Protein backbone atom coordinates (compact mmCIF):
# COMPACT_ATOMS: atom_id res chain seq x y z
CA UNK A 1 0.00 0.00 0.00
CA UNK A 2 0.86 3.67 0.22
CA UNK A 3 2.81 3.40 3.49
CA UNK A 4 4.95 0.56 2.14
CA UNK A 5 5.80 2.62 -0.94
CA UNK A 6 6.63 5.67 1.21
CA UNK A 7 8.81 3.52 3.48
CA UNK A 8 10.62 2.03 0.49
CA UNK A 9 11.34 5.55 -0.80
CA UNK A 10 12.65 6.67 2.61
CA UNK A 11 14.83 3.58 2.89
CA UNK A 12 16.24 4.36 -0.55
CA UNK A 13 17.17 7.87 0.62
CA UNK A 14 19.08 6.21 3.50
CA UNK A 15 20.86 3.84 1.06
CA UNK A 16 19.03 0.84 2.52
CA UNK A 17 17.72 -1.77 0.08
CA UNK A 18 15.11 -4.13 1.56
CA UNK A 19 14.73 -7.68 0.28
CA UNK A 20 11.09 -7.64 1.42
CA UNK A 21 8.58 -5.25 3.02
CA UNK A 22 5.10 -6.21 4.19
CA UNK A 23 2.63 -3.92 5.92
CA UNK A 24 -0.59 -5.07 7.58
CA UNK A 25 -3.24 -2.55 8.64
CA UNK A 26 -5.67 -3.20 11.49
CA UNK A 27 -8.63 -0.81 11.60
CA UNK A 28 -10.82 0.11 14.56
CA UNK A 29 -14.30 1.26 13.59
CA UNK A 30 -17.06 2.73 15.70
CA UNK A 31 -20.69 3.34 14.86
CA UNK A 32 -21.52 6.98 15.41
CA UNK A 33 -24.80 8.80 14.87
CA UNK A 34 -23.69 9.59 11.30
CA UNK A 35 -22.75 5.93 10.65
CA UNK A 36 -19.62 3.79 10.78
CA UNK A 37 -16.26 5.57 10.87
CA UNK A 38 -12.61 4.54 11.19
CA UNK A 39 -11.36 5.71 14.60
CA UNK A 40 -7.87 4.16 14.58
CA UNK A 41 -5.42 2.46 12.23
CA UNK A 42 -2.48 0.34 13.45
CA UNK A 43 0.23 -0.54 10.93
CA UNK A 44 2.49 -3.55 11.50
CA UNK A 45 5.56 -3.67 9.25
CA UNK A 46 7.71 -6.72 8.57
CA UNK A 47 10.98 -6.03 6.80
CA UNK A 48 13.81 -8.25 5.60
CA UNK A 49 16.88 -6.04 5.38
CA UNK A 50 20.11 -7.95 6.09
CA UNK A 51 22.77 -5.78 7.69
CA UNK A 52 20.58 -2.68 8.02
CA UNK A 53 21.10 -0.23 10.87
CA UNK A 54 18.03 -0.37 13.16
CA UNK A 55 18.22 3.35 13.93
CA UNK A 56 18.23 4.28 10.24
CA UNK A 57 15.27 1.96 9.66
CA UNK A 58 13.30 3.55 12.51
CA UNK A 59 14.08 7.03 11.16
CA UNK A 60 12.94 6.02 7.67
CA UNK A 61 9.70 4.57 9.09
CA UNK A 62 9.07 7.77 11.06
CA UNK A 63 9.63 9.87 7.94
CA UNK A 64 7.33 7.63 5.88
CA UNK A 65 4.58 8.07 8.46
CA UNK A 66 4.78 11.87 8.31
pTM for the complete prediction?
0.82
- The pLDDT tens digits for 44-64 are 999 999 999 999 999 999 999
Question: Does residue 1 surpass a pLDDT of 80?
Answer: no
Question: What pLDDT, on a 0 to 100 scale, did the predictor assign at position 63?
Answer: 96
What CATH number does residue 46 fall under?
A: 3.30.300.20
Q: What average pLDDT score do residues 16-45 get?
A: 96
Do residues 30 and 39 make contact, with C-beta atoms less than 8 angstroms apart? yes
Question: What pLDDT, on a 0 to 100 scale, did the predictor assign at position 9?
Answer: 97
Q: What average pLDDT score do residues 25-32 get?
A: 96
Give the structural domain span for 52: 2-65
Phi-psi region of 35 (alpha: psi -120 to 50; beta: other; left: phi over 0): left
Q: How many helices (H) and strands (E) does the chain have?
A: 2, 2
Quote the number of domains for the chain.
1
Amino acid sequence: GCFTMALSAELGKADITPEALNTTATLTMDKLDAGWTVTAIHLAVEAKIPGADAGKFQEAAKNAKA
